[in-house]
Structure 1
Amino acid sequence: MKLSVLSGVVAALTTLVPNAGQAKFTFCNQTLDVANVAISAFNDGAFESSGWWVVGPNQCAEVISQSLRSRFVYVFAKDVFGRALLDGVASMCVDTGRFQIRGEEECLTRGYIDARFHEVDTQQSDSWTFFLRSAAD
């Protein structure tokens, strides 16, 4: 079952959230599934992908703790059975265990897995919260 996506700007919530002045990218799982999350962003001339964060139902995880340097952040999420909860069209590399991979090209020949990441436009904000919701919401 594919899930729909709702993303929101943390900057708009600064009056509602304590310590919202801290720059970051937060992933919030508003589904009943456990989400295994990977992210990617363009950094110093190449894409860098990393993962995995395990985000329980109705939980959030800070996946980038410093100011966002890139307007676009790419997100991929799968359930505990390996089925995509969130995917997109941007091809990036992931691995089976914890990983940090520089470059998005030739994933398979480099020994990685090719995954389709969802593009999130942070509108050049320093902070952003991304919400994963079930299609029924």
Structure 2
Amino acid sequence: MGTSQARADFRVCNATQNLVGVGIGYRAKAGWVTEGWWHIDGSSCKTLIEGPLSSRFYYLYAEDAERGGRWDGPITMCVAEKEFKIAGVTDCVARGFQRVGFQEYDTAEQASWMVQLTDQPADGANAAANGASPP
């Protein structure tokens, strides 16, 4: 297999110079799940979900571990201080978790997706997303 073969996964690339912690939310067969933290060094990428994507919508929340900034959105889901995998997105605080806003990404049912976290993007959003191009 050549290195030019397209990957099937959900990747996050950190285009900043700082360490970033990332959480992801998605709908599994048994219901909503959030999990994290992936630690992504500056100017590097990590795969959060390996293999072809099984959902159309994914949700992302990220924090700059060094400067305290965040990439968030309007969809509230649960996170924890340490590594987590949480079933359900309701009653976060009552269950001992934190409630934060995740950004929705519509993958249009593509097999792969990549989100790039940036400091100051030109379009005013703080994360750019795109699907994989067909080979």
Does the pair score TM above 0.5?
Answer: yes
For the residues of structure 2 that align with 1:84 and 1:48, how far apart are their CA atoms? 24
The alpha-carbon deviation at position 67 of structure 1 amounts to 1.7
RMSD: 1.9
- Report whether the alignment pairs 1:133 with 2:133: no
Mapping 1:117-128, distance limit 5 Å: 117-128=102-113
Task: Using CA pairs under 8 Å that are at least 6 residues apart, name the structure with larger relative contact order, 1 or 2.
Answer: 1
- Report whether the alignment pairs 1:38 with 2:23: yes
Deviations 1:87-115 (A, max 9, x none): 00010000011110010001000110101
The code of the aligned residue for 1:119 comes to E
Match 1:102 to one of 67, 72, 87 = 87
For the residues of structure 1 that align with 2:24 and 2:83, how far apart are their CA atoms? 12
Identical columns (%): 31
What is the total number of aligned residue pairs between the two structures?
121
Moved more, 82-91 or 41-50: 82-91
Give the match for residue 127 of structure 2: none
TM-score using structure 2 length: 0.82
1:97 alignment partner, SS class: coil
For the residues of structure 2 that align with 1:67 and 1:60, how far apart are their CA atoms? 18
Give the match for residue 49 of structure 2: 64
Against the structure 1 CA distance between its residues 57 and 71, is the aligned structure 2 distance closer, same or farther, given a 3 Å change threshold? same
Deviations 1:46-103 (A, max 9, x none): 1100000000111000000122111111000002258342000010000011110010
2:52 alignment partner, SS class: coil
Gaps of 5+ in 2: 123-135
The alpha-carbon deviation at position 18 of structure 1 amounts to 3.1
For the residues of structure 2 that align with 1:47 and 1:19, how far apart are their CA atoms? 34
Give the match for residue 3 of structure 1: none
TM-score using structure 1 length: 0.81
Give the match for residue 5 of structure 1: none
Gaps of 5+ in 1: 1-16
Give the match for residue 59 of structure 2: 74
